[in-house]
Structure 1
Amino acid sequence: MIAILLLLGILSFTQIELTGAEVGVCYGRNGDNLPKSQQQVIDLYKSNGITRMRIYDPDQATLQALKGSNIELILDVPKAQLQSLTDATTAANWVNTNIKAYSPDVKFKYIAVGNEVEPNDGYSNYVLQAMQNIQNAINSANLQIKVSTAIKTDLVASPAYPPDSGVFSDAAINYIRPIIKFLVSNGSPLLANVYPYFAYKDNPSIGLDYSLFTKQDKNDAGYTNLFDAILDALYAALEKEGANNVNVVVSESGWPSAGNVGATVENAGTYYKNLISHVKRGTVKRPNGPIETYLFAMFDEDLKMGDESEKHFGVFNPDRSPKYQLSFN
């Protein structure tokens, strides 16, 4: 009982009230030491006032636990399912099984058809058709849910400086242009994973203060932080495609606490704290915030592949205690 009270005391001290800041948290499950019960995770979201979530596959236990929680959800279509959903009947069955069966008890907000699909990846051939089929199935079911896809910001040609010069790269344009037309015609946002950390890791001369929102003075382009510069370069690229009215939802953003250059608990805590405060406002190009943003991620994921830092993005420890002393009030 004492242990439980101590845990509740910690959670109360670090209570996360995210609604006003338009911030959610991504719930990835690529670890072997995470809470065994999805209901425990949903309860952790609720006890900390986190009202938005992203999940990366239609896990039925998570969807069951979300019923009645009032948590708004981004639900991903995994890459492995994209090809099958180019068939309209299969897409309709997917929507019936994973969305209609849980609505309105689960508050689906966006469907992300693929996450960070590369333009030269074979999966890229399936994304648009799958998006169209899922949106048609959602419309047929009389559901009000927007369909999009989540991209990496490196689809914008580098270097994108000043941010107003942003344009989609030659390698990306044939892939992203028809997707942008779909978003415009359906009034859907573009989901984008925005990571100042990786830009800093690859080029530390960018400056840690510019990456962590701690820089005080503006640079010659009028920016104090890298997050806004990345996001505005993407907005500039969209505008050049005639998509001035497409909003960008930051579907992932985070900073690792270990594993590579600049990846420390102190830096990660600074980034998350300042990001949550910052997205209440807008960017230089789009000053009228807030910026709908999803922190990556709820927990460290020790089975993630790739760079060691990929395993250390969690805001909470696997035992559900908070990793950082964060206040979002």
Structure 2
Amino acid sequence: MREKEEQIRAVELINDGHSHKNLSSGVLCPTTFNRHKTPLCNKSPSCRFHSITTSPPLRRSPPPAFLDSAALKWSLKAFTALLPSYSSSQVQNLITASFFIIVSVYLSQFINTLTSMWYTVVMISPVMVTSIGVNYGQIGDNLPSPEEVVPLVKSIGATKVKLYDANPEILKAFSGTGVEFIVGLGNEYLSKMKDPSKALTWIKQNVTPFLPATNITCITIGNEILALNDSSLTDSLLPAMQGVHSALVTAGLSDQIAVTTAHSLAILQTSFPPSAGEFSPGVIDYLKPILEFHQKTDSPFLINAYPFFAYKGSPKEIPLDFVLFQQNQGVVDPTTGFHYDNMLFAQIDAVYSALAAAGYKTLKVQISETGWPSKGDDDEFGATPENAKRYNGNLIKLMKNEKTKTPLRPNNDLIIYVFALFNENMKPGPTSERNYGLFKPDGTQAYSLGFTLNDVVKGGSGGGNSSSNGGGKTPVLPMTPVAPDNASTGYLAISSAPGKRTGKEAVLSMVVIMLLARHLL
């Protein structure tokens, strides 16, 4: 009877707005908490403390440790005062359950992200390709406009273009495409570029105006200088590279744009077996300071490698399939035991060996030129559309399938620039020099590459993937990939609404929530 009277007295004190004590001992809640009457506290006996004084607590497992701090205990008691129908232990369980439900919701979002990543890896990866490079020469009087060239570059999957100059019309045409550019300074510029101030003027006129819309990543100084036996050019090469690099530092572009030069494979004294590769004694004194420059500036070592020349010189000794990336027995390096099934990779490993022998094992190597002509003079054995198709087509397939690692560098994918984009009718030299192009000047294929290009590209004399419309103008190709007919198997299969979960994800999320709630409540 006395206990019931104390309960009634406690309710009266609450309704009067006074501070109050717990019926057992200690402060139930601070006086400032109850300074204002609310509709809830004016309702008797359904007072917010009613259930606490009359309902025995349920036997539940103790709350997690993160709920055991003094501040949280006070918050629980304060929150309990607002819930007339729950005991403090029930409120603790409700808060714990709410916490885990929130966690489960975020978990479902995480599952959604993982699912999207899985789709990205499984569905997109098969069609994503290693970057393909192409040389864009311009020694012709019938070449298409740069605007017409952009879709042709895209059609072969090329993401890198190498120029032999800094043609402003080309750089402007490729603005916003994301294609990486190597621009070039011809041999005639070497003496001027030794002066950093003149180099800076050239950069301000030919590079800076196109950044960042056009992605210029490298400048080449001259081409195959060390193989020309021209002492004036040889003596000017490194100072010109240093002058351009200094100008880039001044312009704040040295971290974005590298400086290098392209070498002929003729600078090697020995190229087979690959492990025996070494540089010619006649160039090593000039080359070592250049290699030191590459190491200090972290710029790539560029090499022009043409298995065609090796086959042309010894067609009876060198198996054609070995140089065309066709199935063959290959060769084995007797020193390393590495097996080579194509000549190009053997040549590049010879370059790696020569660099190591010179003390520069860690330099990055890129193939700045390689290709095969579709036509040649009578003594240019192997220069046919069929062989050009096999060499360039198989090489591009290797790049698409990310199979450009050599036996000596199994962890490094080679960056390769195919020579060349067009047949250039004004190039001097043998007939082959004017017939290295993947395309004719009218935009048709010079020969089939053996894989499907964009359907709008017209086939050339060597066969094509689509019919010619007889026109002489370069066709305009779409700049974006077309979705496959069956979207569930293509790279566009991911939903365009990232905020919506699929059925399986929603079910999994609900199962997690139900299991947690069942365990906690």
In the superposition, the TM-score normalised over structure 1's length comes to: 0.90
One-letter code of the match for 1:87? D
Residues matched between the structures, number:
311
**Cα deviations by residue, 1:14-46 (Å, 9 ceiling, x for unpaired):** xxx9972321111101112211x2221123223
**Alpha-carbon separation, structure 1, partners of 2:435 and 2:156:** 21
Q: Which residue of 2 aligns with 1:79?
A: 187
Alignment partner, residue 268 of structure 2: 156
- Where does residue 12 of structure 1 map in the other structure? none
- How many angstroms apart in 2 are the aligned matches of 1:18 and 1:323? 25
2:173 to 52, 65, 70: 65
The C-alpha deviation readout for 1:248-285, integer Å capped at 9, x for no partner, is 11111100001121000000000011112334220111
CA displacement, residues 35-61 of structure 1 (integer Å, 9 cap, x when unaligned): 1x2221123223554221011011121
Q: Which runs of 5+ in 1 are unaligned?
A: 1-16
1:258 and 1:290 map into 2 onto residues whose CA distance is 30
For residue 328 of structure 2, the aligned residue among 206, 216, 219 is 216
**2:408 maps to amino acid:** K
Higher Rg of the two aligned structures = 2
Query: 1:237 aligned to 2:354?
Result: yes
Equivalence for 2:505 = none
Q: 1:50 aligns with which of 149, 158, 169?
A: 158
Aligned to 1:274: 394
Cα separation, 1, equivalents of 2:215 and 2:128: 15
1:96 equivalent to 2:204? Answer yes
TM-score in terms of structure 2 length: 0.58
Match for 1:201: what amino acid? Answer: K
The aligned amino acid for 1:283 is: T
Q: Which runs of 5+ in 2 are unaligned?
A: 1-125, 334-338, 454-521
Q: Secondary structure at the match of 1:200?
A: helix
C-alpha distance in 1 between matches for 2:150 and 2:250: 30
Matched, 1:111 2:222: no
| 1:26 equivalent in structure 2 | 135
Percent identity at matched positions?
38
Letter of the 1:200 partner, please give it.
Y
The 2-side partners of 1:19 and 1:57 are apart by 30
Paired residues of 2:301 and 2:366 also in contact (CA < 8 A) = yes
- Asked whether the 8 Å contact 1:18–1:49 carries over to 2, the reply is no
Aligned residue for 2:367, secondary structure, equals strand
Query: Does the Cα contact within 8 Å between 1:18 and 1:50 map onto a contact in 2?
Result: no
Residue in 2 that maps onto 1:174: 285
* Residues in 2 aligned to 1:46 and 1:165: alpha-carbon distance in whole angstroms: 39
Q: Which of 307, 311, 315 in structure 1 is aligned with 2:434?
A: 311
The equivalent position to 1:202 in structure 2, one of 305, 309, 313, is 313
* 2:162–2:181 contact (8 Å) kept in structure 1: yes
Tell me which stretches of 4 or more aligned residues in structure 1 moved more than 6 Å.
none
Tell me by how many angstroms 1:69 deviates: 1.9
**Residue type matched to 1:58 in 2?**
A
Deviations 1:128-181 (A, max 9, x none): 1111111111122222111110000110103x2211111100111112111100
Q: Which residue of 1 aligns with 2:86?
A: none
Which shifted more, 138-147 or 44-53? 44-53
Partners of 1:22 and 1:291 within 8 A in 2: no
Looking at structure 1, the residues matched to 425 and 177 of structure 2 have their Cα atoms a distance apart, in angstroms, of 28
| Paired position in structure 1 for 2:342 | 225
C-alpha contact 2:131 2:158 (8 A) present in aligned 1? no
Measured in 2, the distance between the counterparts of 1:34 and 1:290 equals: 32
Query: 1:157 is paired with a residue of what secondary structure?
Result: strand
Aligned partners of 1:46 and 1:69 also within 8 Å: no
Cα pair 1:26 1:55 within 8 Å, conserved: yes
Q: Are the aligned partners of 1:21 and 1:276 in contact in 2 as well (CA < 8 Å)?
A: no
| Inter-partner Cα distance in structure 2 for 1:46 and 1:277 | 15
